[in-house]
Amino acid sequence: MIADLSANYVEKQALLCGFTAGRVRQDYGIDVVVQTFNRRGEVEAGRIFFQLKATDRIKFLTGGAVSCRVERVDLLHGLEEPLPVVLVLYDAKADKGYWLYVQRYFATFADFDPAHCGERVSVATPGTNVLDRKVMRELARAKNALLGQTQEVIHHVF
C-alpha cells in the first residue's frame, strides 16, 4: 500500500501544478511520468521521470539526510536518460517525499563508475529536499532548459 501512496504523493504535486502524471505498469526503474504544460495550458516537450522508493521506517543520517538504496540496473538506466530522472524516497508515516535529481547528484562524483559498483547503491538525499509544487515547477524548468540546450546544439549542427 505504501508504494501506491508514494505514487499518489508525486501525482498530487504534479496535478497541483497543472501537470499530468501517469503510473508506469512495467516500470524498469521508472514509476511515474510527469507531463508538463506552460502557463497557457499548452503541452511542453519532454517529460520528468520519477523512480519511487517507499518506507514507513525512514533512515536519517548524521546531518539530516535520508538514505536509501537503489538497484544498479535502475541507476544505469537513469544515468543514461537525457531528461530528468528524480528519485523520491517517500516517508509513509510523515506523508513526505524526499527528492534527488539522479543525473545531477551522480555528476558531482567525478570518479563514480556505476559499472564497478555493487548490485545496489546507497544514496543520501538532503532532508531539506522535500518534493512539493515549487520543486515540481523547478524540475519542469530544468527539463525545459535541457531541451532548449539540446535544440540549440541540434540547430548549430545542422
pLDDT in tens, 57-107: 998 999 999 999 999 988 888 899 999 999 999 999 999 999 999 999 998
Q: Which three cell numbers stand for residue 137?
A: 515547477
- Look at residue 124 and tell me whether its pLDDT is greater than 50: yes
Largest CA distance in the chain: 52
**Nearest 5°: phi and psi at 136?**
-60, -40
pLDDT given for residue 158 in this prediction: 44
29/54 Cα distance (integer angstroms)? 13
Query: What does the radius of gyration of the chain's CA atoms come to, in whole angstroms?
Result: 16
152/154 Cα distance (integer angstroms)? 5
Q: In the chain, where are the structural domains located? A: 2-157
pLDDT given for residue 133 in this prediction: 97
87/99 Cα distance (integer angstroms)? 6
Query: CA dist 9 to 85, 86, 145, Å?
Result: 16, 14, 25
The one-character DSSP state at 42 is P
What top-level class would CATH report for the domain 2-157? alpha beta
Q: How many CB atoms lie within 10 A of CB 70?
A: 19
Give the mean pLDDT of 18-36.
91
Q: For residue 154, name the pLDDT band (cuts at 50, 70, 90).
A: very low
- Look at residue 140 and tell me whether its pLDDT is greater than 50: yes
- Look at residue 112 and tell me whether its pLDDT is greater than 90: no
